[in-house]
Structure 1
């Protein structure tokens, strides 16, 4: 039985109390009518460069990242570093694509990517497909944030049995649900500032103090290189994994950009130029991620042995750092779970309210009713994720998360292509999405959901690549071929609610940061 580390737990509680106070006080920050969905779900699109930088950083770099990436390095070596190039590649794509989505969304009062799809292609069905894809991919992602909190609680000795085991987790997420309901997107935006400061301090201290404790980086890599080949990986990527590594990085970059929480964080900015400035600055997080990944090698060198790889980083901190600072780091990880979980819940609520509830159940309800429904759905999403992690074995959450990136990637033709042209036919986009979803899911299922890398056999050769990339290739081919066919047959492609100037004109920037 793990003893309770009281000094770590006390520091952890202090930080958790701070983020709770910030979460509830955020409702009075950048004041707006929180009975309007644009204010609750997008904070009135008021965030400037400074706040957006922290919001997107808190959005894209989660507790699951802090726990899972070093754990994968610990078990698989160099292959886990695919996370670094993919978070670098995503920002040039963001610089080009997302300001265009922000501008048309601002001009047409779109709150979600599915809103844009609905207006661009005049297709409720295609918008529904995008909305359902986003919600399905987001739910297990929220649940997996809980693994970060579970890991640090277990490492501090708060494991317990039965209901007591999950009680701290339940309390944390009830608090999250409460301040998300009252403050909307303002809550994760404000708490993201604290979260990222804590994360950066943790990374800087860990990457200086732990190597000193272990005898330097040279020794760390030497020990990791000696031990990894006997398990599953190596510190040098094997040539046979080059294609898998590169396609996983590229596919994940496009998928990350279109996750509902990433779209929500982006649309909360006050201008397209704000998004471009952030795309230039956000690679600083990729630098931090590199050092976070190296923690996996440090754990090997420190002699950490555990069957539960989510405990790799917490156990490393407890073994090599002062206990009170381990509590500081655990607080950073826990807050790193709450911030993105709040944004994800808000994003899922926005999608349900705008693209399912309003479209199919209550199209004549006013904006106040929309906001109220979104708040309630946000609560349900958070509680649903909590049930998911408490009542359902963890591996099922991981299986769904494996599918999440594959699924989101299948919306690239509809959203990204749609931002630049209407030549692609709406029915072709829908059928391409459907086939891509089936193929991607089938490939993941064929690998028992344990990996998103699929070996494609062509003749006597085997090509390892990200299943999402195989699926999106088929998706795009179907979209192009059927668009040619449907356009030639003059099958109606609906009417476009947007105009070209909506995508390029920059509305006046709101006041404030």
Structure 2
């Protein structure tokens, strides 16, 4: 739900940037997302994803090419950002400080490991036409990583353009509104909205399928038909989206961000059960469960101790190494999983 809530916030910001005020942008975003997934299911995000990719690449390439030219070049952009961060003080800056290297590297590694554990990722993988399709998509994944880096540059450009907004979420729409003509601002808004719509749709569908397949069918309706299961999943998908809406209405946006970060720590703890068991039989059910439980408790405890921040500083002698909490918990999880699996008796299956 926090993940979907953040996508709704993105859509809300875009709609608000088009001049719609009050709570109407959030209502519009929710209705569009609900109808989008309820009417077409997984086909909708699958069909529109290709269009979304083209649009967002056009927007980002145009932005990183034209905006610096209007601001005096990348040299001026980086100088302005550097001066801004120096005036701000603290651990900020246009490049990482040495003390931040391990935190950044472990966050990148942990996020990469967690990416394919999320329901929406697995839903997309399992619904693909073939293994060849998955391999083709995997080839282009680095291009999306590059795209994220280019998008991050928009923050520096906003500083150089002296964009002042009340909320950090409004920075990019305000930047585009300042430097681009109205037609391109509308195109960019559509690209951003669709980019939020697709992952939110797949996430809600994935969550609904998990519920109907693993809870509703075995515990409530074992004889449910595929058609009824699909209709139940649609209703659950609406409930998930409505829950995300409640996050935005009744809780600060920062809560959704914090819970999303905590969700990354949690989802990473199923990595041994999903990945390791594909390559080894040394891990048994007891070991995996205990390892998962210890990993969840460790990750949650460390995150709470840091105020729901994703990094924890490990001290080795006089040295301090900030590391991603999810990765720390995963290491504990793996060690416990193997230890318990070795110590616990194996179940012997006797066949007649």
TM-score by length of structure 1 reads: 0.65
Matches within 5 A, 1:28-39: none
Distance 2:349 2:70 in 1: 65
Question: Cα deviation per residue 1:60-81 (whole Å; 9 max; x = unaligned)?
Answer: xxxxxxxxxxxxxxxxxxxxxx
Shift of 1:190: 1.3
Matches within 5 A, 1:124-203: 139-159=1-21, 165-203=22-60
Q: Is residue 111 of structure 2 the alignment partner of residue 289 of structure 1?
A: no
Distance 2:225 2:19 in 1: 49
Q: Is residue 339 of structure 2 the alignment partner of residue 481 of structure 1?
A: yes
For the 8 Å contact 1:220–1:301, the answer to whether it is kept is yes
Residue 9 of structure 1 corresponds to: none
Shift of 1:284: 2.0
Q: Is residue 234 of structure 2 the alignment partner of residue 364 of structure 1?
A: no
Larger relative contact order, structure 1 or 2 (CA cutoff 8 Å, min sep 6): 1
Residue 325 of structure 2 corresponds to: 467
Shift of 1:427: 1.1
Shift of 1:157: 3.5
SS in 1 for 2:128: coil
SS in 2 for 1:282: helix
SS in 1 for 2:23: helix
Q: Is residue 242 of structure 2 the alignment partner of residue 388 of structure 1?
A: no
Please identify, of 202-211 and 148-157, the stretch whose mean Cα deviation from structure 2 is larger. Answer: 148-157
Residue 168 of structure 2 corresponds to: 309
Structure 1: any 5+ residue segments left out of the alignment?
1-138, 160-164, 496-513
Distance 1:201 1:337 in 2: 16
Structure 2: any 5+ residue segments left out of the alignment?
none
Question: Cα deviation per residue 1:405-458 (whole Å; 9 max; x = unaligned)?
Answer: 111110100101122223201111111111111111111111212x20111234
Question: Cα deviation per residue 1:380-412 (whole Å; 9 max; x = unaligned)?
Answer: 111221222122221211111110111111010
Shift of 1:143: 0.4
SS in 1 for 2:159: helix
Distance 2:67 2:275 in 1: 43
Shift of 1:481: 0.6
Residue 326 of structure 1 corresponds to: 185
TM-score by length of structure 2 reads: 0.94
**From 218, 226, 239, the counterpart of 2:83:** 226
| 1:494 to 1:369, Cα distance in 2 relative to 1, 3 A | farther
| 1:375 to 1:237, Cα distance in 2 relative to 1, 3 A | same
SS in 1 for 2:175: helix
Residue 506 of structure 1 corresponds to: none
Distance 2:275 2:225 in 1: 30
Question: Cα deviation per residue 1:235-272 (whole Å; 9 max; x = unaligned)?
Answer: 22111111101100000001111111111111111111
Distance 2:166 2:315 in 1: 33
Matches within 5 A, 1:421-440: 421-440=280-299
Residue 253 of structure 1 corresponds to: 112
SS in 1 for 2:307: coil
For the 8 Å contact 1:426–1:493, the answer to whether it is kept is no
For the 8 Å contact 2:13–2:25, the answer to whether it is kept is no
